[in-house]
Structure 1
Amino acid sequence: MNKGLAVVVGGSSGIGLATAARFAAEGCPVVVTGRNRDRLDQAVAQLRASAPGVSIGGIAVDARDPQLGEQLARHGELQHLVLAASGGSGAGPFSQVGADAVRDGFEAKTLAQWTALQSALPSLTDHASITFITAASARAALPGTAGLAAVNGALEAAVGPLAVELAPRRVNAVSPGVIDTPWWHGRMPAEARDAYFAQTARALPLGRVGQPEEVAHVVVALAMAEFVTGVVLPADGGAHLATGR
C-alpha cells in the first residue's frame, strides 16, 4: 500500500472530509483544500484530532484558482489526488432549469475538478492515483436530474481518455448515490429531506441511503488499487441495478 501524500480538493466537508479522514487513518499524510477558511480550519482540527501523529495540512483556495498549483507544489510530490469539489445547481424539471443554473453546476463541479487536476499535474508522481467524485445522477435517468446528469456525466466521460493520456498515473471515478451529506441540508427543509431519504431507501436493495464514510472507504480502496484505471465505480447502495422495487 502506497502511503504517500494524499490531497483532497474540496475536503472540508462531506465525502471529501470523510475521504481525508480515511487516508489519515491509513497513515497517509493529508492536505485538504476548501474555499471557506473557517470550515477548512475546523476540518483540519478534526482530522488532526482523529489521527494524531499524521501530518495534516489545509489550503484555503478555490479549486479553480491557478494559485492552487503553486500551493500544492510547496507540499512536495503527491501520490493520491481526490477531486471532490462540488456545489452549484442544475437540479429540477428540465422545463424550469435555465442555462445559468446548469452553467453554475458546470463551473462549481466539472470545471473545478478539471482545473484542479491541471493545477496538480506538475506535483503528481509518475504512478499517482487520481480519483474524481462524480454522482449516480450521471446514469440514473431520474426526472428532474438532467442538469445534474450533464454535470457529472461530463466528468465520467473524461475518465477513460484521461486514464490513457496520463498513464502510468491511474485515473478513476467513484460515483456516489444518495449520501447523507451537508450538500442536502442547504437545499431541502429537514422534513422534505427526511421524506426523500425514506423514499430513496425503499427503492434501494440495501434499504437505506449512504454515509460519507462508506463512500470514503471506496475512494481510498480504489486509490490504493494499483492495477485499476479508467473505471467509474458506483457507491450507490445498488441504485444502478434494475430491481423492480
Structure 2
Amino acid sequence: MSASFAGQRVAVMGASHGIGEATAREFAEAGAQVVITGRAKVRLDAAATRIGHPVAVAEMDATDPDSVAAFFAAVEPLDHLVIALSSGAIGLGPFAELAEADLRTAFDGKVFAHLRILRAALPRIRRDGSVTLITAASARAALPGSAGLAAVNGALESAVPPLAAELAPLRINAVSPGVVDTAWWAGMPEADRAALFEGVAASLPVGRVGRPEDIARAITYLAGNGFVTGTVLDCAGGATLATGR
C-alpha cells in the first residue's frame, strides 16, 4: 500500500464480512486506528479476529437514527469514514414483479442509511478528511432485472459530486464495485453461484470476478489521495466498458 495512515482514526461501517472487513484490514495494516461497526457484536468479533490486527468493534444499526447518533456521540474524532452498507439483493429481479415495499426497504437500507450516517458523522470528521461511499456498478451497467438496484446505487452516485462541493474541504468519493465474491451471493446454490461467476469472468476484460481486497485497495486509495474528491471510482473489472464482448 502506498499511503500510510499511521496515527489516523478510521471508521468502517458494515465491516463484519466481505468488502468492509477487507477495508478495515487494509487500513489497519497501514497503521490506522480502526473501528468497525455492524448489527451483531458476535459477527464483528469474528471479523476482528480474521482481520488479524487490533481493531475496535461497535454495534450499530444504520437504519436506526438513535443507534447512529449514539455511535457518533461516543466515537473519537475521525480522519476517514467508509460506509460499506448493503441491503443485500432486495430490489433485484424483473421490474414488472418488483414490489414497491422491497424497493423502499432497499432504499432505506442503503441510500438513507448512507446519508444518515454521513450527516451524523460530520461533526466528528477532520475538516479535510475523507468519506468514501460504496455503491455498485449496477447503477450504470443496464443489466435486465437490476432496475431496483440501479435506482438505489444510482441515487447514491448522483449525490457524490454535490456533496463534495458542499462539504469541502471534506472529500467525498465513492467506489463502485462490480461482481465481487462475497457473502452477498450466499443465497444462491453453490453450483449456480459458480456458474454465474464463471460466466461473468468470461465477459470481463480482466477475466475474473472481483475479490474484497480489490475494492478495499480502491477505497484506501481514495482516502489517502488528498487531491481526489467528488469521484465515483469504478472497480468492476471493466463491466461498464463498451467492449462488444
TM norm structure 2:
0.94
**Partner Cα separation in structure 1 for residue 196 and residue 97 of structure 2:** 20
- 1:89-125 alpha-carbon deviations (Å, 9 max, x no partner): 0000111111111111111111111111112111111
**Partner Cα separation in structure 2 for residue 96 and residue 75 of structure 1:** 42
* Partner AA of 2:40 in structure 1: N
1:178 offset after TM fit, Å?
0.2
- 1:18-54 alpha-carbon deviations (Å, 9 max, x no partner): 000000010000001001221111112223xx22xx4
Tell me how large the CA RMSD over aligned residues is.
1.2
Please list, as runs of the form range in 1=range in 2, the aligned pairs for 1:122-161 lying within 5 A after superposition.
122-161=123-162
Residues 64 and 116, structure 1, Cα contact 8 Å, conserved in 2:
no
1:6 equivalent to 2:10? Answer yes
**Partner Cα separation in structure 1 for residue 84 and residue 18 of structure 2:** 9
* Partner AA of 2:177 in structure 1: P
1:222 equivalent to 2:222? Answer yes
Task: Give 2:113's aligned residue.
Answer: 112
Instruction: Decide which moves more: 59-68 or 110-119.
Output: 59-68
**Partner Cα separation in structure 2 for residue 176 and residue 90 of structure 1:** 17
**Partner Cα separation in structure 2 for residue 72 and residue 42 of structure 1:** 23
SS at match of 1:171: strand
Task: Give 2:26's aligned residue.
Answer: 22
Please list, as runs of the form range in 1=range in 2, the aligned pairs for 1:1-245 lying within 5 A after superposition.
1-3=4-6, 4-47=8-51, 50-51=52-53, 54=54, 56-65=55-64, 66-88=66-88, 89-186=90-187, 188-245=188-245
TM norm structure 1:
0.94
1:2 offset after TM fit, Å?
4.5
Aligned-pair identity (%): 51
- 1:29-84 alpha-carbon deviations (Å, 9 max, x no partner): 0001001221111112223xx22xx4x11111101333323323433210110010
SS at match of 1:118: helix
- 1:168-199 alpha-carbon deviations (Å, 9 max, x no partner): 0000000000000001112x111111111111
User: How many residues get paired?
Assistant: 239
Residues 11 and 34, structure 2, Cα contact 8 Å, conserved in 1:
yes
Structure 2, unpaired ranges of 5+:
none
* Partner AA of 1:199 in structure 2: G
